[in-house]
Amino acid sequence: MYELILSLFVFLLLHSVPTMPVLRSNLIALIGSRTYLAVYSAVSVAVMAWVVHAALRSDYVQLWQPAGWQALVTIVTSPLALFLVLAGLISPNPSSISLRAGHAPGEIVAITRHPVLWGFIFWSIGHVVINGDVRSLILFGGLGFFSVVGLFMLERRGRRRLDGDWPMVKAQTSIIPLAALVGGRTRLHVDGPMLVAFGLTCVTTIWLLTGGHALLFGADPVAALAY
């Protein structure tokens, strides 16, 4: 369990870098934008693999009994989470996390101006519900909590970074998913990054539900529906 807590701490520390403009700018100035993104992505994947490995090695302590409805929650929230993360990363978004530069944001911000963080929040909720044990609560609950904190950190950074443009961005988007659409403050249009994210989400979800998840993590979410 100690290794899980340590690995999760390192993961959260690593993902604090994008929220620190001075440190991020210095790293980009030192090694270049493309190298920074490549190195950061590689290290993030490696640390995430360590977190998952540490979780699987931790003792299993059950908190509640499994039920079929829990698996249904995960099957619904996980594709949504994956879509938001992918669309958020490959769409320009000056007010939040993105792998693409650009002042004009992608259409995904009509749903929420922080799609990547909300993707992690939905993913965390779904996996806490279905697993119901201490190590999952630490792992997914910790990631979910960090993502919620990140929402407020990125709001402050966006306000400072966009300066005079911030009131317009805030008026046309929302921190809460779908709030701007429901409130009539914006309209949803589908762009290229959203289509790519949707396609990748469909392919990945089908693969995970037809044996991929069981192969990677030893758990079959479809079989869990029968509980």
Is the CA virtual torsion 73, 188, 149, 86 positive or negative?
A: positive
pLDDT in tens, 201-211: 999 999 999 99
Q: Is 124 within 8 Å of 143 (Cβ atoms)?
A: yes
pTM, whole model, 2 decimals? 0.86
Is the dihedral angle over the CA atoms 84, 17, 35, 54 positive or is it negative? negative
Q: Break the chain into its structural domains and give their ranges.
A: 1-58, 61-226
Taking only the tens place, the pLDDT of each residue in 35-55 is 877 787 788 889 888 888 888
Short-list 61, 19, 55, CA closest to 40: 19
Tens of pLDDT, residue by residue over 111-148, are 999 999 999 999 999 999 998 889 889 889 988 988 99
